[in-house]
Structure 1
Amino acid sequence: MTREDLLDADARRDRTDLDGALNYLLVGSDRRPGAAGDDQRSDTILVVHVPADTKSAYLVSFPRDLLVSIPPGGNGYGGGSDKLNAAYEHGGGGEAGVQLLSATLTRLTGLRFDGAALIDFAGLRQVIDLLGGVRMCVDTEVRSIHTGTLFSPGCQQMDGARALDYVRQRYDLPGGDYDRQRHQQQLLRAMLDRAGETNLRRDPVRLDRLIRAVGASLTVDTNGVPLEDLLLTLRDLPPDALTGVQVPSHPQTIDGISYVVLDGGGGALFDAVRGARMPGWVQANPRWVTRL
């Protein structure tokens, strides 16, 4: 597993205490063959909030088109207003891209992070295949703009290519990118469910291949905490204790460009994450919550 300093200094907690609440940044990159660093996008941006008891977790999805203030970056970017996922591109992709994205999120939310992970979607496809596929429930018929595949409503088994194609769709869905955020959250839940169902301990060859595939698809920053200690802390977190959360916001066209703009309730969400008061926020804001 590759280890890099993914967090900007201003976005990093001074010290991570595994006995307290934890906040991790997950970034999904659609790195394409032959693409330069500044031609990469972060189409999945999640903050995982784990309360101190580690019995639950909240997956907070940020809209990729959210209008934000991006600080200057080490790639020569001078800073300015842009879509959230542009921070990764302005930073040059990879390690520096996540650093600028983390600094942008800290400026927006006031959060400092206990760690981060950069996920390569191409590698994730192999992980899903080694798990034997995942069960996804399609709620609205949609045709892929990438492959032309038609996804019909109903629960179905999907291999890695099909699952990742499905969760990338946003056009022709009633909720657009909000539906895509929810589907990405559901995929993470489905992968955890499948890993729990699969008897990997009795198949050491398959387990070894899966571990290698996971390692190859992840770049991590654990803020100095040994990865083994982090996994031990989170070992009892059940998949059914995951709650999907979306940032209160709405689409808006500004100067002919389509953005997503933060609603007033967004600040209350960020306050709840910082103050470890997510159960109360979830109860008060069912519109923005998905039970995965």
Structure 2
Amino acid sequence: MSTDGRDVTARKAREDEKRTSGGGSGRPRWPRVLLGIGLAVVLLATLAVVGLRVLADRYERTMTREQLLDPSARADRTDLDGPLNYLLVGSDRRPGDSGAQQRTDTILIVHVPKGLREGYLVSVPRDLLVTIPPRGGYPGGEDRVNTAYEYGGGGQSGAQLLSATLTRLTGIRFDGAALVDFAGLRSVIDLLGGVNMCVRDEVRSIHTDRVFHPGCQRMDGAQALDYVRQRYDLPGGDYDRQTHQQQLLGAMLERASETRLRANPVQIHRLVEAVGESLTMDTNGVAVEELLLALHGLSTDGLRGVQVPSYPQTIDQVSYVRLDNEGEDLFAAVRGTRMPQWAGTHPRWVTQI
């Protein structure tokens, strides 16, 4: 692997990220962080003091429903006995929008083992080299996994091509999917009164003039979203960014569970609306009320962040990530019932949220 090649790739990546995230003339692009089932279901279930049916009805009225899963990637069942697998995708654009630059830089597979008391948030590396099947005008071929959403046209069709790509890679079929609109995410965090984030290494934002100093601190929506999108100058690069994204999910759920918030029906109503407006969901035919009831036992104590075992590789001066044998074993565990055992024997790739 050439050092010069890595430097060229890094410079190009920095320029591209600045251009597509507000550093140039384009529209601001919010951080690649997914709340997904954690926010859409666990957060709402945590706030269920107002009543499950009322909460579900409110959420149904604000949420957008789309067929986000390709038929080849959809589980052929609608029961919630578990284990369950959900695909969570982040985008700055809602389904129906069109245009370029619709890649998603964070993709999560959420695995909930039977019993529905714990969950594993598997972060798929954005640069993972995969085979993308043909779709529409795209002939198919090898590329980074985060380009599948773009090649599919973004929105609903982009999510479908991404889901088909992941099923082809992992063999996993999904019980549902969620597409997060980051433009609405900042208001959700602010309605929570900010979140507590612990910074391990000093981070200088490439998008703003912020410097995040080590230590635990309260961040508002703009600060938290800026922090979790950073990857340059971090010891683990994009792997550290994945961990920070998972940390934000846990911080949001922790804030949502506080008694002060649960006892405020007005604040709950505002949060439900904000969550619903920032999410598009494919529940695979399952009613939201049933999802809330089934997953209400999940909490931050039962959530683990998982990184896909992989390694970097430069091909023609372009940086990619390749899956290794442990990664194959991880996907086999997610397909079946062995995820807790896999996590126990591979602590290097697992973090407590």
Instruction: State if a TM-score over 0.5 links the two structures.
Output: yes
In structure 2, distance between residues paired with 1:87 and 1:4: 18
- Corresponding residue SS for 2:166: helix
| Structure with the higher strand share, 1 or 2 | 1
Question: Aligned ranges for residues 39-50 of structure 1 at < 5 Å?
Answer: 39-50=101-112
Count, aligned residues = 289
Residue 98 of structure 1 corresponds to which residue in structure 2? 159
1:77-135 superposed Cα distances (whole Å, 9 cap, x missing partner): 11110001000111111111111110010000000000000011111111000010110
- Corresponding residue SS for 1:215: helix
| Structure with the higher helix share, 1 or 2 | 2
Contact kept? 2:93, 2:155, Cα under 8 Å: no
Using CA pairs below 8 Å that are at least 6 residues apart, which structure has the higher relative contact order? 2
Among 252, 256, 261, the alignment partner of 1:200 is: 261
C-alpha spacing 1:30/1:172, structure 2 compared with 1 (3 Å): farther
Question: Aligned ranges for residues 96-245 of structure 1 at < 5 Å?
Answer: 96-245=157-306
In structure 2, distance between residues paired with 1:37 and 1:6: 18
Residue 288 of structure 1 corresponds to which residue in structure 2? 349
Displacement after TM superposition at 1:71 (Å): 0.6
Among 85, 91, 101, the alignment partner of 1:29 is: 91
Pair 1:13 & 2:81 matched: no
Question: Aligned ranges for residues 69-108 of structure 1 at < 5 Å?
Answer: 69-74=131-136, 76-108=137-169
In structure 1, distance between residues paired with 2:304 and 2:224: 20
In structure 2, distance between residues paired with 1:86 and 1:105: 12
- Corresponding residue SS for 1:7: coil
Question: Aligned ranges for residues 63-74 of structure 1 at < 5 Å?
Answer: 63-74=125-136
Among 35, 46, 64, the alignment partner of 1:2 is: 64
CA RMSD of aligned residues (A): 1.3
> What letter is aligned with 1:18?
L
1:27-85 superposed Cα distances (whole Å, 9 cap, x missing partner): 111349xx8443212111000000110110000000001000001123x2111100010
TM, length-normalised to structure 2: 0.80
Question: Aligned ranges for residues 252-263 of structure 1 at < 5 Å?
Answer: 252-263=313-324
> What letter is aligned with 2:82?
G
C-alpha spacing 1:84/1:179, structure 2 compared with 1 (3 Å): same
Contact kept? 2:256, 2:262, Cα under 8 Å: no
TM, length-normalised to structure 1: 0.96
> What letter is aligned with 2:238?
D
Contact kept? 1:38, 1:91, Cα under 8 Å: no
Displacement after TM superposition at 1:201 (Å): 4.0
Residue 30 of structure 2 corresponds to which residue in structure 1? none
> What letter is aligned with 2:92?
D
Contact kept? 1:63, 1:247, Cα under 8 Å: yes
Structure number with greater Rg is 2
Q: Aligned residues: percent identity?
A: 72
- Corresponding residue SS for 2:248: helix
Contact kept? 1:65, 1:260, Cα under 8 Å: yes
Displacement after TM superposition at 1:198 (Å): 5.0
Among 16, 31, 38, the alignment partner of 2:100 is: 38
Among 47, 51, 58, the alignment partner of 2:113 is: 51
